[in-house]
Amino acid sequence: MKSKRLLFLMMILLLVMTFCLSLTVGSYSLSLSEIGCLLVGQSNDMMAQQVFFNLRIPRIVMGVLAGLVLGIAGGVYQLIFRNPLASPDLTGVASGASFGAALMIVIGANSAIEMMFGAFVMGIVSLFFVMFLVKMTGVQRTTTYILAGIVISALADAGIMIFKYMADPISELATIEFWTMGSLASITLSKMLIALISIVIPLAFLLLCHRQIVMLSLGDENARYLGLNASALRIIVLLLTTWMVASIVSITGVISFVGLIAPHIAYLILHRRTKYFLLMSGFIGAFIIMVGDMLSRSLVPGAELPLSILTIFFAVPVLIFLMWKKRGQIL
């Protein structure tokens, strides 16, 4: 138990260090001493103040929120579905939410709340159809969930392509492209605050109900024996999780594979999916996105890479390692 707490504290320290380092990285670089002066109000550099308070801090905090949500959502999906490959990406939720956001752009919605609503509705619809396809086959295996997720994701991607074809090339096309690649480049203080407000209650609920979510992973019969209303709790948990994912996707676009690999790394560290598992998954997701965002801002001088490119490159070696470790057991 003490070793698990030590690992947890080390992860928190790593996050704090990464957060501080991320504050210094960008096209307008800031040293830690300059940041200290800005925080205590001893800097008269208006440009530095604008960059730090209006761009840098909202962007990095949004990255932390996105990582927390995607990592925890991946952990919840894996527990609920009792499937190690369940995640916002592979269950079609992320693609469905992106489709919903693109739909709202095409019909002229401009506010973040409208985008969140469209993303949430289509995320729920995508999750419902994945579960329906799996139930229709009568075989709840890893391959079934993957194939169902591929089908729904392909339909959502086809819909997004149609929207791109229909979109105004000046005012809408670039915005839709943004959702498909994921980025923190356009984050403002208002967007970050909207995301924070929209996820804080669902996030707190999921973390407080971690033990009950773990009980659901034991199966409905065992959960009922332990005193849970398994069906009602599952619906509530899936709705709240999908709302969180939709809230993030509607602002950052689809950030690939974070929700899949963060829970696996957390499990490799903790060796169990109890107590600290969801929070550790969220912390690892936040670390991945902060590192990816730093690289996206610094690898190409004068330009910025889409965040999903970096998270995919990070995910590939992790997935290869997991395939090697579980060779013969994957399907």
The H or E element containing residue 161 is: helix 142-166
Alpha carbon distances (Å) from 234 to 20, 102, 142: 38, 28, 19
- Are residues 209 and 168 in contact, defined by beta-carbon separation less than 8 angstroms? no
Rounded-to-integer distance, Cα 265 and Cα 318, Å = 8
Alpha carbon distances (Å) from 136 to 125, 133, 304: 16, 5, 44
The H or E element containing residue 310 is: helix 307-325
Residue 111 tokens read as: 């506010």
**Buried/exposed code over 72-107 (b: 16+ C-beta within 10 A; e: otherwise):** bbbbbbbbbbebbbbbbbbbbbbbbbbbbbbbbbbe
Identify whether 10 is part of a domain.
Answer: yes
Q: pLDDT at position 331, please?
A: 47
CATH of the domain at 33: 1.10.3470.10
Identify whether 330 is part of a domain.
Answer: no
The one-letter code for the residue type at 54 is N
Report how many domains make up the chain.
1
> 10-residue block means of pLDDT along the chain (331 residues)?
78 94 86 86 84 90 96 91 79 84 80 81 86 78 75 89 80 72 86 91 92 83 80 86 88 88 91 84 96 90 85 89 69 47
The one-letter code for the residue type at 291 is V
Q: pLDDT at position 70, please?
A: 95
Please indicate, yes or no, whether the overall pTM of this predicted structure exceeds 0.85.
Answer: yes
Whose tokens are 């605050």? That residue is 193
Residue 247 tokens read as: 């809230």
Domain of 168, in residue numbers? 2-325
Identify whether 317 is part of a domain.
Answer: yes
- Are residues 103 and 119 in contact, defined by beta-carbon separation less than 8 angstroms? no
CA-nearest of 242, 241, 235, 202 to 216 is: 235
Alpha carbon distances (Å) from 35 to 21, 24, 61, 196: 11, 8, 16, 24
Burial of 156 (0-12, 13-18, 19+ CB in 10 A): buried
CA-nearest of 105, 101, 96 to 153 is: 96
Give the distance from CA 323 to its chain's centroid: 22
Q: pLDDT at position 141, please?
A: 65
Q: Which residues contact 142 (CB under 8 A, 6 or more apart)?
A: 83, 84, 85, 330, 331
Residue 302 tokens read as: 């004068």
DSSP for 76-111, please give it. Answer: HHHHHHT-TT-STTTTSHHHHHHHHHHHHHHTT--S
Identify whether 36 is part of a domain.
Answer: yes
Identify whether 291 is part of a domain.
Answer: yes
Q: pLDDT at position 17, please?
A: 94
Rounded-to-integer distance, Cα 75 and Cα 73, Å = 5
Identify whether 8 is part of a domain.
Answer: yes
Q: pLDDT at position 299, please?
A: 86
Identify whether 193 is part of a domain.
Answer: yes
- Are residues 69 and 248 in contact, defined by beta-carbon separation less than 8 angstroms? yes
Q: pLDDT at position 205, please?
A: 94
Identify whether 331 is part of a domain.
Answer: no
**Buried/exposed code over 50-69 (b: 16+ C-beta within 10 A; e: otherwise):** ebbeebbbbbbbbbbbbbbb
Rounded-to-integer distance, Cα 18 and Cα 258, Å = 17
